[in-house]
Amino acid sequence: MNINWYPGHMKKTKETIKNSLPLVDIVYEVLDARIPMSSKNPDIDNIIGNKPRLIILNKADLSNEEYNKKWEEFFYSKKIPTVFVNSLNATGLNQIIKKTNILIKDKMNRLQKKGVKNRPVRAMILGIPNVGKSTLINSLSGKKGAKTGNKPGVTKGNQWIKIKGNLELLDTPGILWPKLEDKDSALNLAFTGAIKDELLDIENLAFQLLERLIKIYPELVKTRYNIELENYSTYEVMEQIARNRGCILKGGEIDFTRASNTIVDDFRKGKIGKITLELP
């Protein structure tokens, strides 16, 4: 899947992030819990250097709980603090505050010894588009401090937001990387909506998503769409889904575009089930 998805403003975004790093005590790197590795921008490690970091695996309500544990063990083995959250219902947010205070305790103690007291903890939040950064900020702040949207790239510029627990967050636009060389990662990003749907062939995308789900979560597919999978090709399975969902055009022809949108939308909203697409 060849996708030209690197807008011109991304170079400026990277420069802005580098210039803002001295202003913060810790970096929050937000990943999609369904695709932790695919949603991790490899540039971020180089950008933030040795700055304390907390990885926040968002959308944990949509990911497989057993796989969540495996990813937690993986990051623990790398000595990278992590927390799983569902920013929509605020699950796990207290863990963010708790782990932040632990990670920057030494620095805050040094500031207090210098006579600097009650200074807010300052954090920068980073992540690729559509991992739920803005929703997470809104949940942490208890108000609509950041614009949100279901399309990647809603946040356009840096903005500070006051958070409970004496915390201030510097929001940044979603940061992409120039070239997607790994096909599976590109597909994972497309499946979850990190790449704008306008850049994609929705029927091809849904076909490849369905093919993947049949392979790793066959029972969830069968249950969601009340269909049979054995001895059926992916194309025939898609036909079954289309007929069961009434995706039929005049003359009885199957509306594959509508069926494709249904499958992709069901996956993104967790209607098929709790799904993680990759393991450590």
Q: Which of 128, 122, 137 is nearest to 43 (CA)?
A: 128
State yes or no: 4 annotated in a binding site: no
Residue pair 257/202 in contact (Cβ under 8 Å)? The answer is yes
State yes or no: 174 annotated in a binding site: yes
Q: What residues make up the domain containing 259?
A: 201-268
Q: Are residues 214 and 162 in the same domain?
A: no
State yes or no: 134 annotated in a binding site: yes
How many CA atoms within 13 Å lie on the side-chain side of 97? 16
State yes or no: 165 annotated in a binding site: no
Q: Give CA separation, 46 vs 11, 51, 128, 178, 206, in Å.
A: 14, 10, 15, 15, 34
Q: How many domains does the chain contain in total?
A: 2
pLDDT for 187: 92
Q: How far apart are CA 68 and CA 266, in angstroms?
A: 21
CB neighbours of residue 106 within 10 Å: 10
Q: Are residues 118 and 234 in the same domain?
A: no
Q: Are residues 106 and 224 in the same domain?
A: no
At residue 27, the 3 state secondary structure works out as strand
Q: Are residues 66 and 162 in the same domain?
A: yes
- Amino acid at the residue 167: L
State yes or no: 61 annotated in a binding site: yes
Average pLDDT over residues 25-51: 91
Residue 238 lies in a domain: yes
State yes or no: 51 annotated in a binding site: no
State yes or no: 274 annotated in a binding site: no
State yes or no: 135 annotated in a binding site: yes
Q: How far apart are CA 167 and CA 154, in angstroms?
A: 23
State yes or no: 59 annotated in a binding site: yes
* Residue at which a domain ends, from 130, 153, 171: 171
State yes or no: 131 annotated in a binding site: yes
Q: Is 34's pLDDT higher than 70?
A: yes
State yes or no: 60 annotated in a binding site: yes
CATH number at residue 261: 1.10.1580.10
pTM, whole model, 2 decimals? 0.86
Q: Are residues 159 and 34 in the same domain?
A: yes
Ramachandran region, residue 246 (left: φ > 0; alpha: ψ -120 to 50; beta: rest): left
pLDDT category, 260, cuts 50, 70, 90? very high
Q: Are residues 162 and 207 in the same domain?
A: no
Residue 155 lies in a domain: yes
Q: Are residues 161 and 210 in the same domain?
A: no
Q: Is 6's pLDDT higher than 80?
A: no
Q: What is the residue-averaged pLDDT of the chain?
A: 86
Q: Are residues 62 and 143 in the same domain?
A: yes
Residue 240 lies in a domain: yes
